[in-house]
Structure 1
C-alpha cells in the first residue's frame, strides 16, 4: 500500500493522509479527487514530510478516488506555493488554489460546443434580437457567454438558434496555439540595447537564475530589448511568461509582439471566456503555450518548461494584490525565477526604490538604457505655477496649457491630459442644505459619472442614479459637482476647442482588451486629437503623433501621508510625460502645480531622477522604512463596529515586546468602513533582520476571535487605507 499526504482545498483542515489504490500512479504534484466525509473534494499530492500530518493508522486510510488527467504540479511551483504561504502568512490551500484556476481544465481534453451568428436575415425581429445581432458580430462562445456579451437571456439566443440565426460549432478544447517564430522580424538594435540584450540572452542560454533590472528611459526600446531574451528562450524550446500590470495594456503589447514574432502570444486575464481559460491553462501545463502574457494571476500557472520571466512596468502598484492572498507579483516573480532557475527581467523607466536598492546591493544586475531609440529626444518639461497662472473660475486648465492644446490641434498633432481621478466629479452636494452623497457601505463619497448617468462608489461598486431632488431637503435642481474628474476635463476641452475629437480613457471606458484595442486603433489612425485619461494612459502606449502631455493636478497624489506618495507621484508623472515626443516630432510636458518647489516637482522639472531617488533613499534609511526596514499590517474587520474595535484592542493588548520591533495601533483605518465592514489597523515596523512572520504567527495563533471578525495580515503593505 502506498500512503500519500495531500493538500486539501479546505483551509481549516490542512494536510490529510490517503492511500493510493493498487494500479493507480499518484506522484507528488498530482491533482486528485479525495473523499472527505460524504463529499468529494479536490487535493494535491504534496512532497513527503513537507506538510505536517499525524500518525493515523495506515489500514484506516481512505483511498484516493481519482488522479485527474493533467500533469502533476512541478516541484519548483510547489516550492513557490509553500514559500508564498509562509512569507505572506496565507493558507497553503489558498495559494495552491490560484494555480488550479480553471476547474474545467482539470477534467481533461475534449470538445466544447460554441455558437456564432450565421449571417441569415431574420424574418421576424424583436428589440432583444436586434441587440444580440448587433453585439455578437464576430463573437463565438458558449450560450451563457454570448448571453452575457449581448445582455439578453439565453432563451432569446435559443430562439435565434431555432430560427437559424445562430449555429453550433464543435471546438477542440486542446487545439494547439500557433508557435511564435523567434527569427520572424529580428530588429536592428542600437549599441546600448544590443549590449543589454546580449546579457539577458546569455542568462537564458545558461538556464540559471539571474534577476535583471532593465532600467531605461521612456521610449528607449526596453520591450524590443527583452524580446531578444524571449527569442532566445523560444529558440531553446522553452516557455516564457510576461506579466503586465493592466489588462488594458495587453492590446498594445499584443500588436508589438505579433510584429516581432509573427503570431500573437497566449493571453491570461480575468476577461477570458471559460473556454479560452480552459484551453490556455491546459496548453501551459502541457507545454503548448510558448509565450503567455497576462495579469499577476498568470504568475501561478503550471508551466511545463519555463525559461524566462519578464515583469513589464515592474514599478506598478497594480502588481500588489490587496485582498485574498496579499502578494506582490513583482517579488513573487523573482522567487519563481529562483525556484525554476531561470532569468527574471524587471523592466521599468521608473523602477521601484526597492528594486534599485537590490541592484545597488548587487542582488539584481542593472542594465541601463539612458537614451531614446532612433534619435528621438526626451520631451521638454515646463512647470505651470497655479498660484500665479490660475484657470478662470469654474475651469481647471490654466491658460498656458490651453494655448498649448490649441497649438497642437492647429498642427494636427495629438495631446494627452492626465488626471488620476475617474468620473466627472469626486463629490456631489446640495447647494441648498449642504447634503453630501455618501456610500452606504464605505466611508467614501459617491463619485459622479456623467457619461453613464450614475453616482458610484469606487471601493465597493455601489451605484445609484442621480436623483432629481435632494434626498435630504427635497429641493429640485440643486445638486452641484465639486472638483474635477477626467469626464469634467474632457467637457472643458470640448468647450474650449469645439473642433477637437476627445477620448476619455479610464478603467471604465477600457474595461476589456477589445475596448483597449479599439482605442489604440483610433489613436494610431489619428481619429483622436486629445486623450484625457487616468493612470491607465501613463504607460505602455506609443503614439508617434502625440507631442503634448498636460498634467492637470500634479499635487493630488502627494496627499494622504503614504510612505511612497512622492515616489508614486514621480513615477506616474514621469511615465505620462514619457508619452510625449516618441516619434520624429519633439514633445513638451506642462505640469500644473501649486507647489513648484516640492522636491518631487522640482526633480521632474530638472530631470534629476537620480538625485530624487537618492534623497528618497536617505529619507527611508533614516526612518528605518522599507527597503531598509520591514513593515507589516494587521487589519481587523467586522460588520459590527463595537465587535471590530474590541477585537482590535484584544490583539493590541497582547502585542509582543521585541527589541527592534515597533507596533503601532490599533486605530480606525482611514477607510474605516469598507464594503459594509468596520476596520481597524495595526502597523508593525521592524528592523530588516527581524523575523516578522514568526513574530506575527506566535502573536496571533493563541487568540480566538468571534465568528464575525476577520483578521488579515498584509506583509510589505502598499495600501494604508
Structure 2
C-alpha cells in the first residue's frame, strides 16, 4: 500500500528571473533556495551559477512596453532543470525605474538587455562601500566612584547632539584619546556608527539669482512652470549663440531643487564641464556631481550611491549618466541636443538625446532640449506640437551677432604649400594688433590626412581599416583614427623603397599651427584638440589661460565649437568650410551648417563686434549661403522639404544592419542571404547589401543594408522577423543600428 505522504504534491519552488550583464536575449530563470525565499526581491544583486562559473546579475521582472517594442517571451523551462541562486550580495538594489529604462532601451535598440544592464551594473559593482566611521555620544551618568578631572569635564562639555569621532572630540576638548577611552570604559561615553557624510553639497536655489529680462525671463518662467507641474513634457529651448540658454535652463534646475527633486544635465563633451561647472557654482554656491568616463572608481561608487539615496541633487555628465539610479528625478536636460556624439556607435547603439526623453517620461518629469542649431528631428517635433518651443532670437546684454563673410579660395588662394588665404592672414593680424583674440578652426586632427610617395604614388593606408593613415608630425608617427593603429613614419616608401619620397597631403591642425607660427611669430598660440587637451583639468587650465588673456590665437578642432564663452575673442577663421559636405551622408549639409554656425558663435560675445571668415572653394553651396545670411531656419526648412518626399528622417524611420566578419566571403554571403530575405510592403524599402564606406574596420570586412519605413511603421517588429529568418554562423556578426546617425 502506498503511503499517503508519498501521494502529496512536492512543494513548489519559487522561481526568479535574473538578468546577467551578458548578451543573452532575455533573463535566465533560477530557483530560490529556502534561506533566501523571504528576502529576494526585484532589483536585488545576486550571484548565480552559469555553466561552471559564477556570475553577478540582478533579479528582474517583466516590464510593460509598447506592443511594437515587446520582445517574444522566453521559452518555458521546467523547474526541475533550474539551478538555485547562490547568494544575495550586500549592495543597494537596482531601482525599478532604472530597470524599466534598461528594458526600454534594449527593446528599442534590439540590443540584448544584459548588455544594457552592463552599462549600469559595472559602475554599480565597481569598488566597495567603506565601513562607516565610529563616533561617541553620551552614555550613562558618571558613577560616583569616577574622578571627574578637568580633562574629562572638557570632553563631556564638548559633546553635542550628534556623534563625534575620537579625533574631532579630542581636538575640540583639548584632551587626549586616552581620556576619551577612559570615559568609554566607565560607560560615560557610548560608541555608535556615524552616518557617512554626503560627498556632495546641496546646491542653493536662491544663492545668486540672475537678472533676466524680456525673452530670457519669459523662457525661464516657462521652464520653471514645466518643472512645477511634476509631469512629463518636452521643451525645445532654441537660442542664438550667446543668448544665455545655460543661465535660463539653470532656473529650471533651481525649481527642481526647490521641489526637493533631482536634476540631470547631459553635455556632449566632457571638456565642456570645466566652464559649465564654474557657471553652475556661481549660480548655486556648490558644485554638482559629475559623471563621465574619466572619473575614478571611488568617485563612481560615491556618485552611484548618492544618486540612489537622493543626496546627489544635480548630476552633470556624459550620455552614460542616463543609467544612474536616481531616487526622484524631476528634470532631464540635454544641452547641445543636436550633437552627433550623443549617439553611441558601438555596443548598444543608442541616442542619448532620445533616450533622455524616455527616461524623463518614465519618471514623470519634464525634459528640456537645448541648442542654437536644433536637429531637424527636434525641430519637426516642435513644429508638429509634440514639443513646446521657446526661442531666444538675440544675444544677452546687447551683444550683436558676428558678421560672416566668405573667402573664395579660387580668387584669394594661399601661397603654394600653405593653407591660409592672405585675406584671413591679414584679418588675424589686424585682430591681434587691436589686442583682441582670434581663433582658427579646422576639424581635422594631426599634421596631414594623407601621406603618399612622390615617386610611385603609393598611399599610406591602415592595415586594419580602409582608411588613410594620418601623420602626427610632433610624435613622428602615422595613425589610424578608427582603430588607433600607430607606426613610425618610414624613411623609405614601402612600395618602391624610394628614400625620403613620402610627402604630406592636405592640412591637419598641426600643419595650420606650424603655418600660423610663421605668419604670426609674436602671437601666443594655444592648440585645443583631443590630442592636446586631455580631460577636464587640462581643459579648465586652457580656458583659464584664454580668459586671463594669456593667449592671442586659439587653433582648434570641433572641441572649440561647443558652448565656450571667450569675451575677448572677436575673429573666427574657418580654414576649410567645405570639409564635411562630401560623401553620401544625408545629414552632411545639416551637420556642416550646425558645426560652422556654432564655431562662428564663439566670436563677438561681449562688447566688441565679432567677425567670421569662411575659406571655401564652393561659395555658392546652400550651406555657405545660409551661413552668410544667418537664416538657419530657412536652411532647415529647405532641408526638410528635400527629405519629405522620400520619407527620410524625420519623416520616416531608418535602421541599418551592419554585417561583419574576419572573412570577406562570409560577410558578403551573410549580407546576400539577408538581402534575399528582406521585408517588403507598402511604406517599406530595403537598400543594399553594399560594402560599407569603411569596408574594413579593425580587421573585419563590413557590408550594410538599410531599412527605411514610413513614420507610422515601427522598424523593431520588422527587424526581429527579418533576423529570425536568416540563420548565421558564429563567424558573422550583425549589428543593428536603429535611427543611425553615421553611415560609415
Alignment partner of 1:232 out of 247, 255, 259: 255
CA distance in 2, matches of 1:427, 1:248: 28
1:251 aligns with 2:274: yes
What SS does the aligned partner of 1:195 have?
Answer: helix
CA distance in 1, matches of 2:703, 2:371: 35
Q: 1:412/1:445 Cα in 2 relative to 1: closer, same or farther (>3 Å)?
A: same
What SS does the aligned partner of 1:556 have?
Answer: coil
CA distance in 2, matches of 1:380, 1:58: 73
1:584 aligns with 2:607: yes
Q: How far apart are 1:75 and its partner, in Å?
A: 2.6
Superposition pairs of residues 208-287 of structure 1, within 5 angstroms = 208-287=231-310
Alignment partner of 1:9 out of 17, 21, 31: 21
CA distance in 2, matches of 1:685, 1:349: 29
Query: Larger deviation: 93-102 or 339-348?
Result: 93-102
Query: Larger deviation: 551-560 or 473-482?
Result: 473-482
CA distance in 1, matches of 2:730, 2:17: 30
1:40 aligns with 2:48: no
Q: Report if aligned partners of 2:413, 2:421 keep a CA contact under 8 Å in 1.
A: yes
What's the CA shift string for 1:238-257, capped at 9, x where partnerless? 11111111111111111111
Q: 1:106/1:174 Cα in 2 relative to 1: closer, same or farther (>3 Å)?
A: farther
Q: In structure 1, what is the equivalent of residue 421 of structure 2?
A: 398
Q: In structure 2, what is the equivalent of residue 623 of structure 1?
A: 646
What SS does the aligned partner of 1:622 have?
Answer: coil
Q: How far apart are 1:282 and its partner, in Å?
A: 1.8
Q: In structure 2, what is the equivalent of residue 527 of structure 1?
A: 550
CA distance in 1, matches of 2:649, 2:700: 29
Runs of at least 5 residues in structure 2 that lack an aligned partner in the other structure: 1-12, 65-70, 134-194
What's the CA shift string for 1:190-246, capped at 9, x where partnerless? 221111111111111221111110000000000000001111111122111111111
CA distance in 1, matches of 2:423, 2:63: 69
Superposition pairs of residues 691-710 of structure 1, within 5 angstroms = 691-710=714-733
Q: Report if aligned partners of 2:25, 2:112 keep a CA contact under 8 Å in 1.
A: no
What's the CA shift string for 1:247-290, capped at 9, x where partnerless? 11111111111111112211111111222222222222222211
Q: Report if aligned partners of 1:68, 1:108 keep a CA contact under 8 Å in 2.
A: no
1:306 aligns with 2:333: no
Query: Larger deviation: 282-291 or 36-45?
Result: 36-45
Alignment partner of 2:443 out of 383, 399, 420: 420
Query: Larger deviation: 25-34 or 561-570?
Result: 25-34
Q: Report if aligned partners of 1:501, 1:529 keep a CA contact under 8 Å in 2.
A: yes
What's the CA shift string for 1:41-87, capped at 9, x where partnerless? 12222225868345545566543333333443333322221121111
1:671 aligns with 2:694: yes
Q: 1:428/1:273 Cα in 2 relative to 1: closer, same or farther (>3 Å)?
A: same
Q: In structure 2, what is the equivalent of residue 464 of structure 1?
A: 487
1:377 aligns with 2:377: no
Q: How far apart are 1:31 and its partner, in Å?
A: 2.2
Q: How far apart are 1:696 and its partner, in Å?
A: 1.1
Normalising to structure 2: TM-score of the pair? 0.86
Q: 1:105/1:442 Cα in 2 relative to 1: closer, same or farther (>3 Å)?
A: closer
Q: In structure 2, what is the equivalent of residue 25 of structure 1?
A: 39
1:69 aligns with 2:90: yes
Alignment partner of 1:477 out of 487, 495, 500: 500
Q: In structure 2, what is the equivalent of residue 507 of structure 1?
A: 530
Q: Report if aligned partners of 2:20, 2:117 keep a CA contact under 8 Å in 1.
A: no
What SS does the aligned partner of 2:471 have?
Answer: strand
Alignment partner of 2:627 out of 584, 604, 614: 604
Q: 1:12/1:414 Cα in 2 relative to 1: closer, same or farther (>3 Å)?
A: same
Alignment partner of 1:355 out of 372, 378, 386: 378
Superposition pairs of residues 80-479 of structure 1, within 5 angstroms = 80-105=101-126, 107-110=128-131, 176-479=199-502
Q: How far apart are 1:2 and its partner, in Å?
A: 4.0
CA distance in 1, matches of 2:464, 2:453: 21
The ranges of structure 1 where at least 4 consecutive aligned residues each deviate by more than 6 angstroms after the TM superposition are none
Q: Report if aligned partners of 1:174, 1:282 keep a CA contact under 8 Å in 2.
A: no
Q: How far apart are 1:532 and its partner, in Å?
A: 1.1
Q: CA RMSD in A?
A: 1.9
Q: Report if aligned partners of 1:190, 1:373 keep a CA contact under 8 Å in 2.
A: no
CA distance in 2, matches of 1:230, 1:77: 21
CA distance in 1, matches of 2:530, 2:220: 33
Q: 1:173/1:451 Cα in 2 relative to 1: closer, same or farther (>3 Å)?
A: farther
1:613 aligns with 2:627: no
Select the structure of larger CA radius of gyration.
2
Alignment partner of 1:561 out of 584, 591, 603: 584
Q: How far apart are 1:510 and its partner, in Å?
A: 1.6
Alignment partner of 2:679 out of 656, 666, 676: 656
What SS does the aligned partner of 2:580 have?
Answer: helix
Q: How far apart are 1:107 and its partner, in Å?
A: 4.6
Q: How far apart are 1:35 and its partner, in Å?
A: 2.6
Q: Report if aligned partners of 1:69, 1:107 keep a CA contact under 8 Å in 2.
A: no
What's the CA shift string for 1:330-385, capped at 9, x where partnerless? 00001111110101110000000000000011111111111101111100111111
CA distance in 1, matches of 2:722, 2:661: 20
Normalising to structure 1: TM-score of the pair? 0.89
Query: Larger deviation: 382-391 or 319-328?
Result: 382-391
CA distance in 1, matches of 2:75, 2:457: 64
Q: How far apart are 1:628 and its partner, in Å?
A: 0.3
CA distance in 2, matches of 1:215, 1:343: 16
Q: Report if aligned partners of 1:173, 1:278 keep a CA contact under 8 Å in 2.
A: no
Q: How far apart are 1:4 and its partner, in Å?
A: 2.2
Q: Report if aligned partners of 1:384, 1:591 keep a CA contact under 8 Å in 2.
A: yes
Q: Report if aligned partners of 1:173, 1:279 keep a CA contact under 8 Å in 2.
A: no
What SS does the aligned partner of 2:538 have?
Answer: helix
Q: How far apart are 1:413 and its partner, in Å?
A: 0.7
Q: 1:377/1:31 Cα in 2 relative to 1: closer, same or farther (>3 Å)?
A: same
